[in-house]
Structure 1
Amino acid sequence: MKQSGSADLTLMGGHIPSWLFERMTQLSRAVVEAILVEYGKKAFLSKMADPFWFQSFGAVIGMDWNSSGVTTAVMRALRKSLNPHSKELGIYICGGKGKHSLKTPQELIQVGDKTGLDGNYLAECSKLSAKVDNTAVQDGFQLYIHNFVVSDEGDWTVVQQGMKTEDKSARRYHWHSGALASFVEEPHSAICGENQGHILNLVDKQARSTKEGILNILKENPDKILKETQKMVLPGYCDIKPQDVNFKRLGSVLWLAQEAQTNDFKDLLLLKGLGPRTLQSLTLVSEVIHGTPSRFSDPARFSFAHGGKSARPFPVPTRVYDETIDTLRTAVEKAKMGNSDKQKAIGKLTSIAQKAEENFVPPEKSQEKAHLEKLMEKEKRDSWKYGGRTIDGYEKPPQDEKNHPGKGGQLGLFD
C-alpha cells in the first residue's frame, strides 16, 4: 500500500449548474465503463490514484483545470453515476464532502456485506489514511473531503482533500492499495498550485502490506517525506497560458480533427459523420481512457475538449458535449455485447494523434502566446454554433457573424 501522490490547488467556490453537472455525470460513467471494458478494475483504480490523470479527467468533463472544485465535481459525478450500477460494474464509491465523509466506514462495512470483502478492514484503512494526511503530515491542511473507491476484488483508492483557509489553498491526497511497479519506477503523482507551487510524489517503496504501509508513513518525519518527492510546478490562475500546454500534443489533436474530414483513415471509418469539433473533443476523451501516465503532465490541455462554465478557456459546447457522450456510450454498450469495433475506433484516435506528434512542428516559443490566444478566441467566437453555454446563459452570434454567416471554420492551431 502507498500514498501515491497529492495535488495543491487553488481553493475556489462557485456552483456547478445542473445542465453541466448532468453532462459531467453521463460522461464520467461512459469514460469509466470504457476503461473497465478495455482494461479492468485495477487499471481504473490506478488511474484514480494518479493526481495528473485525475486533474485531466476533471478538465475533460468541463471543470476549471486547476481548481480545488475538480475533486468534489469528479467524485460527486462518479458517485451519482456509478453507485446505482455498482453490482454490475464492481466499483463502489464511498464517502464524500463534509458530513458525508464521516459515513465512509459505515458505507465500507455495507460494501463488505454485499461483496464478501472484509468491511472492517477497509474501514480501518479509510481511517488510517485520513489520519496520516490530517495529523501525521503536519502541513496545515484540514481534511474536509474523504472518498474511498473500492472494487469487488478488494483493490482500492482513497481521494481526499484538505483546505488551508488563511491562504485560500487546498491539497488533494491520493492513496492506492496496490504495489504496482509503474508507481515506483515512474510515479506521476502531483502537487500543483500557486501557494505551494509543486506536485509531490509520496510513494512509500518499503510498504509490505496495506496496514503496515500506512503505519510506516505515520512514523516518518514529514520533512524526510517531502525531500524525497519529485516536484512539478503548476500555477494558481485559471486562465490557460502557453507554459501550461504541450503544443505538439494539442496541435496533433487539432490536426486530426481537421484531417479526418478529408483523409479516409481506415481505422476511423466507424466515426464518419462526426464533425471536426466533436472529433477534437472525442480525441481528448479517448486519451483520458487510453493514455499512459506520462500523457497527463499538462492537464490544462484537456480543457480544450469541453471548455468550462466560466468560459475558461471557452464556453461549454453543449451540442458537442452531448454528441461525445452519445458516441462513447454507444461504443461501450456495443462492446459489452461483444462488438468492440466502435470502441477500438475511438481508441485509434489516441494512437493516430500520438503518431502525428512525431512529425508535428509546434510554433516558436515567441509565437506560442499568439497562437494560443488565436485558438481560444476562435473557440469563443464559434461557441454559439455548438450550443456554447456558461453560467450566464447561451452564447449568441457575434454581430459581424450575423452580417457574414458561415465565416470561419475549424481552426488549425498553427495556421
Structure 2
Amino acid sequence: MRTGIANLPLHAGKCPRWLFEKMVALSQTIVELLVVEAGPAEVLRRLSDPFWFQAFGCVLGFDWHSSGLTTTVCGALKEAVRGCERDLGLFVCGGKGATAFKTPEEILRLGARHPLKANPEDLVRASRLAAKVDQAAVQDGYDLYHHTFIFSSQGTWVVIQQGMNAAARRARRYHWLSEACRDFVVEPHTAVCCDVRGLTLNLVAQESEAARQSLPALTRERPEKLVADIKRIHDRILDLPDRHQLLLEDLDPGRLKTVFEKSYDRAPQDFVALLETPGVGPRGIRALSLIAELVYGTPLSYRDPARFAFAHGGKDGTPYPVDRATYEHSIRVLKRAVEQSRLGYSEKRQALARLARYEGL
C-alpha cells in the first residue's frame, strides 16, 4: 500500500564524501538497533512512512527539505546493509537513474544467494508494478528517476521512489508498503502529501473503476480503429483549462499505433495486465483514457493524490552546520546500544526510552 508522497524542491550540490560515509555508519547502527528491538518488518514500516523517512534523513545530517535527501538516504541505506543482509534480514535494491533499471536483476541475484520466504519473481513484479502505477496510472507531471526496493527475508517489502517535474523544479516522493496491499490499482495509498493540489489523471482512484474496466476492453479493438478515434479527438475543439494534464498535442496517432498493436496482440484481461504490457507507458494509457471517455463516456478521476507538510535538516547549514564530533559520538552511542541489546543488557535502552517519553519525543 502506498503510505505517502513527499513534495521536495530541487537543490543544486552534492553530498560531501565525508558526510555520506558518516550517513552510512549512522544509518547502519540505527537499522541494527531497530532490527534488534522490533525486527526487520518494523524497519520497513518506518521507511514507508514519509514523515519518519524525512526525520531519518534529518538525523543523518542531510538538507532538511531538498530532493537529494531521498536519493542520498536510500544510497546510504544500501551501503549500510551491504554485506549484512543475512544478519539483518533486509535487502536493498535499485537507486537513482540507470541503477533503478537494475532493480529486478538485483532482486533475483539476492534471492538466489539468500533463503527467502517469498518468490523472487513476485518481488520483481511488485517492484515493476509500483513503478508502473506511479508513472502511468497516476499522471501528475512527475517523471520517475529514482526507485529503491527494500525487502525482508520474510517477503515483505517497501518501495521508495521519486519523480521530477523539471518545469516546476519540484520532486515528489512515493512510498509503498506491502503489508496492506490488497490491490495495486484501487486506492493503493493511505496518505499522499504535497503543497499543491491540481488536476491529475488518477486511474487508481475509486471513481475510476469504470475506466479500469473499459481500458483493457479497448485494447481488444483493432489498432486502426483506435488510431482513427484519436484522430477524431484531434479534429474536435476542446476547451481545456491550463492545468489539465491530458494535452492532445502530446499524442501522436501514428506513434500510438505501435502501442495499440502491442496491447492488441497480448489482449490484457484487466487493468493490471494492461499496465504490465511491455511498451505501454503513460502516453498509451493517456490515449486509451481519452478514447474511453469519448466512446464509452466513462468518468475519469482528475483528483490529485497529493498534499504537503514536512520539516528539519543540516547539510547546507540549516538549521546549523553538521557537527562532526557530535555525529561521531552518536554513532558510538548507538553501536554500544546495539551491542548491549544483543547481549541482553537493556537498562540503557530503557533509560533512553524513559527520557524520550519525558521529553515528549
Give the TM-score range, shorter chain: 0.5 to 0.7
2:331 and 2:274 map into 1 onto residues whose CA distance is: 41
Q: Which residue of 2 aligns with 1:82?
A: 81
Q: Does the Cα contact within 8 Å between 1:82 and 1:92 map onto a contact in 2?
A: yes
Q: Which residue of 1 aligns with 2:158?
A: 157
Does residue 340 (structure 1) correspond to residue 330 (structure 2)? The answer is no
* One-letter code aligned to 1:316: V
Give 3-state SS (helix, strand or coil) of 2:149's partner: strand
Give 3-state SS (helix, strand or coil) of 2:356's partner: helix
TM-score (norm 1): 0.59
How far apart are residue 346 of structure 1 and its match? 2.3
Q: Does the Cα contact within 8 Å between 1:95 and 1:148 map onto a contact in 2?
A: yes
Structure 2 gap ranges (5+)? 183-188, 207-269, 276-284, 290-298
Q: Which residue of 1 aligns with 2:194?
A: 192
**Identical columns (%):** 40
Q: Does the Cα contact within 8 Å between 1:83 and 1:91 map onto a contact in 2?
A: no
* One-letter code aligned to 1:319: A
TM-score (norm 2): 0.67
1:89-168 aligned at under 5 Å gives the runs 89-113=88-112, 114-116=114-116, 117-168=118-169
Q: Which residue of 2 aligns with 1:22?
A: 21
Structure 1 gap ranges (5+)? 182-186, 206-212, 235-297, 356-415
How far apart are residue 299 of structure 1 and its match? 3.6
How far apart are residue 320 of structure 1 and its match? 1.1
CA RMSD of aligned residues (A): 3.2
1:340 and 1:217 map into 2 onto residues whose CA distance is: 52
Larger Rg: 2
How far apart are residue 350 of structure 1 and its match? 1.4
How far apart are residue 4 of structure 1 and its match? 1.7
Give 3-state SS (helix, strand or coil) of 1:149's partner: strand
Aligned length: 268
Q: Does the Cα contact within 8 Å between 1:162 and 1:171 map onto a contact in 2?
A: yes
Q: Does the Cα contact within 8 Å between 1:58 and 1:70 map onto a contact in 2?
A: yes
| Alpha-carbon distance change, 223 to 27 in structure 1, aligned in 2, over 3 angstroms | farther
1:237-256 aligned at under 5 Å gives the runs none
1:21-40 aligned at under 5 Å gives the runs 21-40=20-39
Give 3-state SS (helix, strand or coil) of 2:15's partner: coil
How far apart are residue 232 of structure 1 and its match? 4.7
Q: Does the Cα contact within 8 Å between 2:157 and 2:177 map onto a contact in 1?
A: yes
2:165 and 2:329 map into 1 onto residues whose CA distance is: 39
Q: Which residue of 1 aligns with 2:43?
A: 44
| Alpha-carbon distance change, 163 to 134 in structure 1, aligned in 2, over 3 angstroms | same
Q: Which residue of 2 aligns with 1:56?
A: 55
1:180 and 1:347 map into 2 onto residues whose CA distance is: 32
Q: Which residue of 2 aligns with 1:273?
A: none
Does residue 353 (structure 1) correspond to residue 359 (structure 2)? The answer is yes
Q: Does the Cα contact within 8 Å between 1:156 and 1:177 map onto a contact in 2?
A: yes
1:98 and 1:28 map into 2 onto residues whose CA distance is: 23
Divergent runs of 4+, >6 A:
202-205, 216-219
2:163 and 2:274 map into 1 onto residues whose CA distance is: 18
2:300 and 2:101 map into 1 onto residues whose CA distance is: 29
Give 3-state SS (helix, strand or coil) of 1:84's partner: coil
How far apart are residue 180 of structure 1 and its match? 8.7
* One-letter code aligned to 1:342: K
2:204 and 2:52 map into 1 onto residues whose CA distance is: 16
| Alpha-carbon distance change, 214 to 49 in structure 1, aligned in 2, over 3 angstroms | farther
Give 3-state SS (helix, strand or coil) of 1:115's partner: coil
Q: Which residue of 2 aligns with 1:179?
A: 180
2:360 and 2:303 map into 1 onto residues whose CA distance is: 34
Give 3-state SS (helix, strand or coil) of 1:154's partner: coil
How far apart are residue 81 of structure 1 and its match? 0.7
Give 3-state SS (helix, strand or coil) of 2:164's partner: strand
How far apart are residue 189 of structure 1 and its match? 3.5
1:315 and 1:20 map into 2 onto residues whose CA distance is: 11
* One-letter code aligned to 1:115: P
1:181-330 aligned at under 5 Å gives the runs 189-193=191-195, 215=272, 224=301, 226=303, 232-234=307-309, 299-300=311-312, 303=313, 308-330=314-336
Q: Does the Cα contact within 8 Å between 2:7 and 2:308 map onto a contact in 1?
A: no
